A and B are shown apart, each in its own frame.
Chain A
C-alpha cells in the first residue's frame, strides 16, 4: 500500500490567494475559499461539529459549530461560512458558549447520543444539562405517520424525543433513528453528492421529521443498493452494521480491542480502499478512508459488506 502512495503525483492546482482574518484575537491567513472552521482549526481552536462532513457540502443544520462574527446580528455557522478579508471571529464568548450549551441540551434531551463520539466531553465542557426539560416521553410508535402541521400537545410533563423502534429490515445494516439528529448527511451521501441512488429523504416537517423511504417501505423494497455510504457519514451511530448492532446488543462490542487495517478492495479494478475493523480475529465492520483519492470514503455493497468469505475458515 505505501509504495503506490509514494508514486502518486502531487496535484498543484491553481495558485490561491490568502485571506487574513482574526480568530479570538489571533491573526491568521488561510487560502481563499476556506471556511471559518478551517481558519479556527488553523489557529488550534477546537470547534465541535456534528452535521459537518469532510466529504460533503456543509448543511449547517446542527448549529453546534456557531461562532460570533463582528457585524453579524446572529451567530454564524463556522462549517459553511467562507472567510472574508479582515473578518473578526470569536469562538469563546458568553453568547457562543450559551448557544453551544443549549444546542447540546436540546439535542441531548431529544436524541440518544450514547454512541456519538465526543459528546460527553462537550457536555462537560459547556456544562450542558439535557435533563432540565423533564423526563423523556415514552417511545413513539407513530413517527412514520406524517401529518404536517398537526401535533398532540400534552401537558408538558415529559420532554418529546426521537425515541422509536429500531428499523431492522435486512441483514446488512440497521437504522436506529432514536439516535438520529437529522443532519441530512445520509440523504446527501445517498443522493446527488455521492451515490445518486435516492433511496432516502427527510419526510415530515419540524420535530416530526424522519429520514424515510417513500411511505416508509422497508429497505429491500426501496431503491437502496446497500453501498453503506450513509453509514460511513452518520455522525451518531444511528446507522450501523448489523454486526455492530448485534454485538452491542450482546454487550460484546469493544472498540478498545479492535484493530483497523486499511487495504485495497479486491472485487474490481477501481482501487477503493477499505478499512477493516477487526475484533477477536473477526471483521466486525468496514469503513473507507475519506481522504483517499479514489473513493473519498465511498464503497459499493461488495466492498462494504462482502467480507464474509474472508472469515469462512
Chain B
C-alpha cells in the first residue's frame, strides 16, 4: 500500500489519525497495546498543542520511544507490535515532530 502525501497535507494530523486509529482498534486484551496506544496518542496531542519550539518535545519523544518499544516487544499480536511503526518512521525518517537529539 502506497499513500502519497503532497505539500498541502498536515503531517501532524495524519500522525494523530494513525494514533487514534490504533487506540480505537486495539482489542484491549493486553496491557502494552490497550494502554500504550492511549499514551501514544496523548503524547502526540501534547506535541501538536505545544507547537514545535526546538527541544520542547524531547521528553514526549522519549516517552513515545519507550511506549513504542514495549508495544513492539510485549504485545500479543501484530496490531500492538506495529502500532508505533508509522510514528517512529515519521520521527526518524521525516524528522517530524522536531526532535532535538
Contact = CB atoms under 8 A, between A and B. Distances in A.
Contacts of B75: 63, 74
B49 A156 contact: yes
Nearest to B22: A206
- The dominant DSSP class at the B interface is helix
A209 B34 CA distance: 9
A51 to B, nearest CB: 9
Range of interface residues on A (Cβ < 8 Å): 35 or more
Contacts of B37: 206-207
Range of interface residues on B (Cβ < 8 Å): 35 or more
A156 B45 contact: yes
B30 A155 contact: no
B74 interface: yes
A157 B47 CA distance: 10
B74 A150 contact: no
26 contacts: A61-B30, A61-B76, A63-B30, A74-B75, A99-B69, A99-B70, A102-B74, A103-B32, A106-B36, A107-B35, A133-B39, A134-B42, A149-B24, A151-B20, A153-B16, A155-B45, A155-B49, A156-B45, A182-B28, A206-B25, A206-B34, A207-B28, A207-B34, A207-B35, A207-B38, A209-B34
Interface of B: 16, 20, 23-32, 34-39, 41-49, 63, 66-67, 69-70, 72-76, 81
